[in-house]
Every structure is written in structure tokens, then in C-alpha cells.
């Protein structure tokens, strides 16, 4: 059972879930989500416009109760991204809010409806969520996540972090990725503790959650850098049990600032949409700045160079492969891309380059593909932005890169060759077609792009 504590007879906790100013008790959550489940029972796949709201929580939990695959859609998705996600996933309807010009049927979420109807158990192999994530080229790929993978992933983290029903988790991360949705929303539901979602992950809201009894906090490195820059807010997190960082490399100075202000060494963990979290430092173990920890329960990792294993000597740098029960098995509708990453022996080739020391500690050194950018903890494909910019009539050539940025980790810059046009127009063109976090922060107009003798753009010569 995915949520052992989510049954009508479960012991009630006041305010099991708070999102912004609104709260639901566990009893209300079960009753309202079961009412949602009744409305969608028998459907295969529905899309959920994943605003950080109680309605999103009810929609996702309703889908899980009914055994309907939920496709959480970024609420600021532009037209091209939205059309792709809906078509590719085969979503039959919107559950809850829908975009203005939607052509799909809309099933309302009635916040005050209640049902205590018992639904049959759903097979663990059923796809609970379809999460979309960017590759180096093309539009985002769907990753089907099973109920068993969610349960295994959350239980392995509970072991590493000593995460229990006594914990109140606070964060303000988006509800359409592994971090905010699976760990951040389904995690507290599986453990039976509280969730305090702050809607936005700002330092002052994290500080306010401390007054509401938060014991655990999640953030991407950008969030921790911003918390660290607000000394008074950061100090209020001292009362927490565990602060956790993930989704992108945590800069050592940020680790140190948070330690100095809160007395807590951030737990860092590493994962991917395709694999969920596979490696983490532990609540009861060493937290080494710049290192992401040990394999979780049930996870095996290896370093490869071609077909050979590399030693775990803390120095050899190789391709990181992972294998574990929390992993997805494929990309939706993409057999070739699936075969490139899911290897015949069950390992997943992450595309990240790492070292492992003799104690099993992992350090992520970088990514193999420069065309995958991590900005604010969001994974963004350079090719996706380039294709959209090339669709603008003023643009004849374009190259998108990520450059180091103190706040966002990486900042997106687009080099453009073409007719005169304002940078704002090009940036807005990207937000209209894709989503806000994919917009270039800067457009640099150039006469030509650097190319090699074969005509291939030399991105390394840019910036
Ligand atoms: C400015 N804005 C614009 C524009 N210019 N919006 C649209 N078009 C423009 N041209 C506005 C934005 O709407 C926003 O306004 C404000 O500028 C600031 O936006 P921005 O700088 O983009 O971001 P931010 O709000 O400062 O966001 C930083 C963030 C965010 C909060 C850290 O990047 C974030 O939520 N990151 C989390 C990513 C994440 O969860 N990744 C997990 C995936 P306004 O604020 O008024 O709306 S990874 C994963 O799942 C794996 C498995 C893992 O390991 O965890
Ligand atoms: P996503 O699928 O959006 O979660 O992106 C996954 C990628 O984020 C990984 O392949 C890594 O490149 C990066 N990533 C996630 N967590 C960490 C971390 N703790 N340190 C370094 N990189 C990370």
C-alpha cells in the first residue's frame, strides 16, 4: 500500500497538509481525495496543472487512489511544451484547473466533497505518475514512475534520513518534479507526518515554517544560497532536525554558510527523474561538503570507462551507472533513447561523471553532455531552446549554453545570428512556447557562430 496512513480509519493529525494559507486534516484529505478518485475512476491518464495548491494535492492523491496515471504539468508551460506533453502522454482530461484555451474535457476538483468509498488495491507495477524531463535535444521526455518505485524510493530515503511520522517537512518546490512532488509531497503522506508547503521557496517563508514546527527542509542549492544570504531567516532554521539539498551541485561555500548560521550540515543527495534518488549522505553519517554520499538501501553504483569498471579510489573519474528498485524502466514512446540509457544488465547510464572513494562516498564531477543545463535546479535542454528560437522569424542561427551563476548554478545564454530584434522579444518568445525557467537570461547577438571544419558549432568557444 502506497500510503498506509491514508485510510479513513487512520489516526487523525490536525493539518496533515498545509499549502500556503490553506490546510487539510488527514481525514479531510482522505475524504476529499477519495471523492476526486470517484470522479475519475476508470480513466487511464489525466493531466494536472500543478500549481502549488491544495487542489493539486487532492488531484494527485485522487489519481493514486483511483489508479489513474497523473501527468503533473508545469503551470507556466508554453504552448509548444503543453501540446507536446498532452499528446505524448495521451492525457484524456484535465483534473482541476485547466489552461484557458484547453480542448480537453475538464473534471473539476470539489474541495468540500467527501467520500469514504473503499477502492480496490492497485498493482505496484501500475504507472502512478508521468513526469516530463528535458534531454539535450527535442521536447521533454515522459518518464513513467510506478507505485513500487515511489514506495522503494521513499523508504530508502526514510532509512537514510531517519524520516518518520514525527517529522514535519517544509519546502516550497514545484509539484511537477521528483523533488517537490514525490519526495516533497508523497514523502510525508507515506511517512504519515506533516507537510508545510510554502508555495515559494523563499528564505522568509522557510523561516516562518520553523514557527509552524517544521523539522525537515528541502531545497535546491539556489534556495539554500538565498537562505544563507538572509542571516536572520537562516538562524530560525536551527530548530530543525534535518536540512536537505539536491537537484544540482551544492557549492561548498553554501554548505559552510548554512552550517555557520543554522548549526546544521546540509544532507546532500543525488538523483534524476529517471532514477529517483540513488545516493545520499545520511542523518547518522558523515556529510562531506562537495560529496553526495553513499548508495541508498537497495542501490548499486559503478564507475565506467567504456566497458571497464574503474576503481573506487576517490580519484578515478568515470561515467556513473546506477541500479535500484526506485528506478523507472523507460522513456515513454522513445525505445531508442530508452535503449541508450537503460543497459541490458539493469544499470542506468546517468550521463553524470563521478568519483567514488574507498568508503563508497560519491562526488559528482560534472555531466557528459554540455547541452543539458541545470538552472535553479531545473534540468533544461539547450536543443529545446534552440529549436524554439529558430522558429522566430528574426533568428537564422542560434547556440544556447549554460554559464556559471552564483544564484542559479547555471544561467542560460543564447547566442543569436539574425535580423535586428529586441532581446526581450526573443526571451518572451521562449516563455510563450516553453516555460519560464527555460528562458535565456541574456541574448548575445553575434555576426557568426564559431564552427569547426565540419560546420559544427563549437560551444566551448562561446563565453
Ligand atoms: C522575469 N520573470 C519572468 C520573466 N522575467 N517570467 C517570465 N518571463 C520573463 N521574461 C519572473 C518570474 O515569473 C518570477 O516571478 C521571477 O521573474 C523570478 O523568476 P526566476 O528568476 O526564473 O526564478 P525564481 O523564482 O527566482 O526561481 C528560483 C527557484 C526556482 C525558486 C529556485 O528555480 C525553483 O523553484 N527551482 C526548483 C527546481 C526543482 O524543483 N527541480 C527539481 C528537479 P514571480 O516570482 O513573481 O512568479 S530535479 C529532480 O526532481 C531530481 C530527481 C532531484 O535530484 O531532485
Ligand atoms: P533531473 O532529472 O531534473 O533531476 O536532473 C538530474 C540531474 O541533476 C542529474 O543527472 C545531475 O546532473 C543533477 N543533480 C541532481 N542532484 C545533484 C547533486 N546533488 N549534485 C550534482 N548534480 C546533481
What are 343-389's pLDDT values in tens digits?
Answer: 999 999 999 999 999 999 999 999 988 899 999 999 999 999 999 99
Does residue 256 lie in a domain region? no
Q: Which residues contact 189 (CB under 8 A, 6 or more apart)?
A: 3, 5, 6, 16, 61, 195
Does residue 252 lie in a domain region? no
Number of domains in the chain: 3
What percent of the chain is modeled with pLDDT above 70?
98
Say whether pLDDT at 9 is over 60: no
Shared domain for 109 and 81, answered yes or no, is: yes
What percent of the chain is modeled with pLDDT above 90?
91
Question: Ligand 1 centre from 436 Cα, in Å?
Answer: 7
Alpha carbon distance 99, 52 (integer Å) = 15
Say whether pLDDT at 461 is over 80: yes
Q: Which helix (H) or strand (E) holds 29?
A: helix 26-40
Shared domain for 348 and 383, answered yes or no, is: no
Shared domain for 344 and 420, answered yes or no, is: no
Does residue 251 lie in a domain region? no
Cβ(367) to ligand 2 under 6 A?
A: yes
Q: Whose CA is nearest to atom 1 of ligand 2?
A: 272
Check which CATH number belongs to the domain holding 387 and give it.
3.30.300.30
Question: Ligand 1 centre from 202 Cα, in Å?
Answer: 11
Shared domain for 386 and 348, answered yes or no, is: no
Check which CATH number belongs to the domain holding 346 and give it.
2.30.38.10
Shared domain for 24 and 157, answered yes or no, is: yes
Shared domain for 162 and 304, answered yes or no, is: no
Closest CA to 220 of 253, 244, 188: 244
Would strands 276-280 and 294-295 be described as parallel, antiparallel, or unpaired? antiparallel
Q: Whose CA is nearest to atom 3 of ligand 2?
A: 379
Shared domain for 77 and 181, answered yes or no, is: yes
- If you average pLDDT over residues 147-165, what whole number do you get? 97
Shared domain for 301 and 354, answered yes or no, is: yes
Confidence of residue 2 (pLDDT cuts 50, 70, 90): confident
Shared domain for 9 and 120, answered yes or no, is: yes
Long-range contacts of 395-399 (CB under 8 A, 24+ apart): 395/421, 395/426, 397/448, 397/449, 399/449, 399/457, 399/459, 399/462
Could you give phi then psi for residue 384, rounded to 5 degrees?
A: -65, -40
Cβ(342) to ligand 2 under 6 A?
A: no
DSSP string, 263-297: S-PPEEEEEETTTEEEEE--TTS---TT--BEEPT
pLDDT of residue 14: 62
Which of 4 and 5 is assigned the larger pLDDT? 4
Q: Which residues pair with 217 in a beta bridge?
A: 170, 243
pLDDT of residue 11: 57
Shared domain for 43 and 157, answered yes or no, is: yes
Question: Ligand 2 centre from 377 Cα, in Å?
Answer: 8
Confidence of residue 6 (pLDDT cuts 50, 70, 90): low
Q: Say which ligand is closest to the CA of 245.
A: 2
Alpha carbon distance 29, 51 (integer Å) = 17
Residue with cell 535546491: 220
pLDDT of residue 3: 80
N- to C-terminal Cα separation, the chain: 51
pLDDT mean across residues, the chain: 95
Cβ atoms of 260 and 232 within 8 Å: the answer is: no
Question: Ligand 1 centre from 437 Cα, in Å?
Answer: 5
Q: Whose CA is nearest to atom 17 of ligand 1?
A: 436
Model confidence over 168-226: pLDDT tens digits?
999 999 999 999 999 999 999 999 999 999 999 999 999 999 999 999 999 999 999 99
Which of 143, 150, 220 is the best mutation target for the ligand 1 pocket, counting ligand atoms within 8 Å of the beta carbon and taking the most? Answer: 220
Shared domain for 382 and 347, answered yes or no, is: no
Domain range for residue 56?
Answer: 4-200
Q: Whose CA is nearest to atom 19 of ligand 2?
A: 270
Alpha carbon distance 69, 75 (integer Å) = 18
Cβ(247) to ligand 1 under 6 A?
A: yes
Does residue 208 lie in a domain region? no
Shared domain for 343 and 424, answered yes or no, is: no
Q: Whose CA is nearest to atom 30 of ligand 1?
A: 376
Cβ(441) to ligand 1 under 6 A?
A: no
Does residue 232 lie in a domain region? no
Residue after which a domain boundary falls, among 200, 226, 246 = 200
The cell for 431 is: 516563455
Question: Ligand 1 centre from 408 Cα, in Å?
Answer: 9
Confidence of residue 455 (pLDDT cuts 50, 70, 90): confident
Residue after which a domain boundary falls, among 367, 400, 425 = 367
Alpha carbon distance 382, 412 (integer Å) = 9
Amino acid at each position: 500500500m502506497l500510503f498506509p496512513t491514508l485510510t479513513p480509519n487512520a489516526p487523525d493529525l490536525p493539518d496533515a497538509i498545509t499549502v500556503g494559507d490553506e490546510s487539510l486534516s488527514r481525514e479531510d484529505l482522505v475524504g476529499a481525495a477519495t471523492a476526486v478518485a470517484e470522479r475519475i475512476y476508470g480513466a487511464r491518464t489525466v493531466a494536472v496543472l500543478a500549481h502549488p495548491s491544495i487542489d493539486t494535492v487532492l488531484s494527485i492523491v485522487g489519481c493514486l487512489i483511483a489508479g489513474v496515471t497523473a501527468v503533473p504539468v508545469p503551470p507556466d508551460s508554453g504552448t509548444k511544451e503543453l501540446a507536446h506533453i498532452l499528446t505524448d502522454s495521451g492525457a484524456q482530461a484535465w483534473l482541476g484547473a485547466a489552461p484557458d484555451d484547453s480542448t480537453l474535457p475538464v473534471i473539476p476538483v470539489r474541495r468540500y466533497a467527501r467520500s469514504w468509498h473503499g477502492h480496490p488495491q492497485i498493482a505496484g507495477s501500475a504507472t502512478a505518475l508521468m513526469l516530463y524531463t528535458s534531454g539535450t535535444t527535442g521536447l521533454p521526455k515522459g518518464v513513467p514512475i510506478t507505485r513500487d518505485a515511489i514506495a522503494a524510493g521513499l523508504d530508502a530515503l526514510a532509512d537514510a534520513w531517519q524520516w518518520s511520522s514525527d517529522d514535519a517537512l517544509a519546502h516550497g518546490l514545484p509539484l511537477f518534479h521528483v523533488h517537490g512532488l514525490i519526495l516533497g509531497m508523497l514523502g510525508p503522506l507515506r511517512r504519515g507526518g506533516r507537510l508545510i508547503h510554502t508555495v515559494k521557496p523563499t528564505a522568509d517563508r522557510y523561516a516562518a515554517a520553523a514557527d509552524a514546527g517544521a523539522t525537515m527542509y528541502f531545497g535546491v542549492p539556489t534556495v539554500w544560497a538565498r537562505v544563507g544570504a538572509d542571516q536572520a531567516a537562516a538562524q530560525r532554521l536551527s530548530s530543525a532536525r534535518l536540512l536537505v539539498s539536491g537537484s544540482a551541485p551544492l557549492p561548498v561555500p553554501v554548505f559552510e554558510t548554512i552550517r555557520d548560521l543554522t548549526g546544521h550540515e546540509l544532507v546532500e543527495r543525488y538523483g534524476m527523474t529517471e532514477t529517483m534518488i540513488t545516493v545520499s549522505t545520511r542523518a547518522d553519517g558523515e556529510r562531506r561538503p562537495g560529496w553526495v554520499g553513499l548508495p541508498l538501501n537497495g542501490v548499486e553504483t559503478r564507475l565506467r570507462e567504456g566497458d571497464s569498471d574503474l576503481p573506487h579510489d576517490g580519484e578515478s573519474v568515470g561515467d556513473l551507472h546506477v541500479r535500484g528498485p526506485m528506478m523507472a524502466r523507460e522513456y515513454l514512446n522513445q525505445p531508442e533513447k530508452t535503449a541508450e540509457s537503460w543497459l541490458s544488465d539493469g544499470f542506468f547510464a546517468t550521463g553524470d561523471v563521478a568519483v567514488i572513494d574507498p568508503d563508497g562516498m560519491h562526488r559528482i564531477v560534472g555531466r557528459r553532455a554540455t547541452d543539458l543545463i541545470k538552472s535553479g535546479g531545473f534540468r533544461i535542454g539547450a536543443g529545446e531552446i534552440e529549436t524554439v528560437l529558430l522558429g522566430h522569424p528574426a533568428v537564422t542561427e542560434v547556440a544556447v549554453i549554460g554559464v556559471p551563476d552564483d544564484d542559479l548554478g547555471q544561467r542560460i545564454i543564447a547566442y543569436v545570428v539574425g535580423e535586428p530584434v529586441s532581446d526581450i522579444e526573443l526571451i518572451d518568445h521562449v516563455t510563450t512556447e516553453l516555460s519560464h525557467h527555460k528562458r535565456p537570461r541574456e541574448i548575445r547577438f553575434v555576426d557568426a557562430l564559431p564552427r569547426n571544419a565540419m560546420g559544427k558549432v563549437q560551444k566551448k568557444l562561446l563565453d
